[in-house]
Structure 1
Amino acid sequence: MRQLLHSDDKEIFALRSDAIVNKYLDRKPCKSIDDARDFIGVIGNSIEKKESIYWAITLTGADKLIGTICLYGFSGDCSTAEIGFELLPHYHGNGIMQEAVATVIEFGLASIGLKSIEAYTHCENLGSLRILEKFNFKQNRNDGDNLLVYKLRAIS
C-alpha cells in the first residue's frame, strides 16, 4: 500500500467506472479521466484536513494501483472511523483485500487508537461481508435500503 498519487488518474478512472466495483456503492461512476482527477484532488484535500487516511493498493513489487482502502468519517474524539475499500474485479478472490484490511485495522487500532471501526455495506455484497466477518466485524444495525452497518470494537 502507498499514498494515492496524481499519476494514478487512469487507474482511479478504471476502478471508479467499473460496473462490478460500483454495483453496491451509492455513488456516480467516473465518466471521464477528469472525474478521476477531481476525485484525487478531493481525496488530497480530505487528507490535508485530516478527515481521512487513504491508501492505494498495489501488488507486491509493482506500483500500479489495483484498489484503494481508507479510514474516514472520524468521530469528534477520533475514537471511531469508517473503513472503505474497493478492488478491481480481476484481483478479487486472491487475498489482496484481506491483507490490506488487516493492515488498516492494525494501523487504526494500534497507531491511531481507534476504539471501533465501522463499515457500511450492501446486504448482497457477499465479498465485503466475508471480509468483514473474517475480521470479527459484527452486524450492528440495518440502515435501510439493504444497507448493513458492521462494527469492529477494539479489545479492551
Structure 2
Amino acid sequence: MKQVHTRFPVMETERLQLRKIEVQDAENMLTYLQDPDVMEYYGLPPFVSAEQVLDEIAWYNKIFTQQTGIRWGITLKDEDKIIGSLGFLNWVPMHHRVDIGYELNQEYWGKGIASEALQAVLAYGFETMELERVQALIEPANLASIHLVEKHGFLREGLLRNYEYGNGKFDDLLMYAILKKDFLASSK
C-alpha cells in the first residue's frame, strides 16, 4: 500500500484549523460525545466516560498509523478546543476509495463549520491521497447530513437495507458518493 502521510497533516481554512486529536482533547470531546443529539446517528450510544473518549482517540491514531484512515479534530482558529471531528475510514488505496464520517458539537450546528471542514478534507483526499471516490453512509432520517453532502456534490446512489447493527437495532443506510471529476468541476 502506498503510504501517503507519515506526518499528520494540519490544515487551515478561513475559520478553522483541522489537526490531530490528542489525549488532552478528551475532556472537550466528551462534552459533545455524551450529547444524545450529536450521537443519534453515530452508531454508538452517547459516551459516559473519559475512558471511552480515550479509546476513540486511540482508534483515530490506529487508523492513521495503519494507513486505513485519518481523522482530524476541528478547532476554531482562535480557540484550540476540539469542537468536532471528521475524516476518512476504510481507505482502499487499490481502488482509490474511502468512506467519510463526521460529528460536531451541537453548539456549532448551523454555522457552516461542517461544510467548511468537509470542503478542506475532500480537497486533501482528491489532491493528496489521489482518491477517485469518497462515499458517505447516512441514515435516511439524518436530514442535516444528507443536506451537507448534497451541498458538496455527493449523489445518492441507493439504499443499503439493514446495513449496520448498532444501539440494539439494524439501520438502513443511504449510499452517497462524490467522484474526483465531480469535485474538481464544482470547485472551479
Q: TM-score, normalised by structure 2?
A: 0.79
Unaligned runs of 5+ in 1: none
Question: Which of 23, 27, 31 does residue 6 from structure 1 map onto?
Answer: 23
Q: Deviations for 1:122-147, whole angstroms, at most 9, x for unmatched residues?
A: 11111111110011100111012331
Distance 1:16 1:152 in 2: 27
Residue aligning to 1:63: 80
Residue aligning to 1:22: 39
Residue aligning to 1:119: 136
User: Which amino acid is the alignment partner of residue 119 of structure 2?
Assistant: A
User: Which amino acid is the alignment partner of residue 181 of structure 2?
Assistant: I
1:148 paired with 2:165, answer no
Question: Which of 56, 68, 75 does residue 39 from structure 1 map onto?
Answer: 56
User: Which amino acid is the alignment partner of residue 72 of structure 1?
Assistant: L
Residue aligning to 1:89: 106
Residue aligning to 2:12: none
Q: Deviations for 1:32-66, whole angstroms, at most 9, x for unmatched residues?
A: 11111121112112211111111000112110000
Larger Rg: 2
Residue aligning to 2:168: none
Distance 2:122 2:143 in 1: 20
Distance 1:87 1:153 in 2: 24
Mapped contact 2:30–2:50 kept (Cα < 8 A): yes
Q: CA RMSD in A?
A: 1.4
Question: Which of 125, 144, 148 does residue 108 from structure 1 map onto?
Answer: 125
Q: Quick one: percent identity of the two aligned structures?
A: 27
- Kindly report structure 1 stretches of 4+ aligned residues shifted beyond 4 Å: none
Please report how far the alpha carbon of residue 12 of structure 1 lies from its aligned counterpart in structure 2 after TM superposition: 1.9
Unaligned runs of 5+ in 2: 1-17, 162-170, 183-188
Distance 1:42 1:147 in 2: 23
Distance 2:90 2:46 in 1: 21
User: Which amino acid is the alignment partner of residue 119 of structure 1?
Assistant: A
Distance 1:146 1:24 in 2: 11
Q: TM-score, normalised by structure 1?
A: 0.94
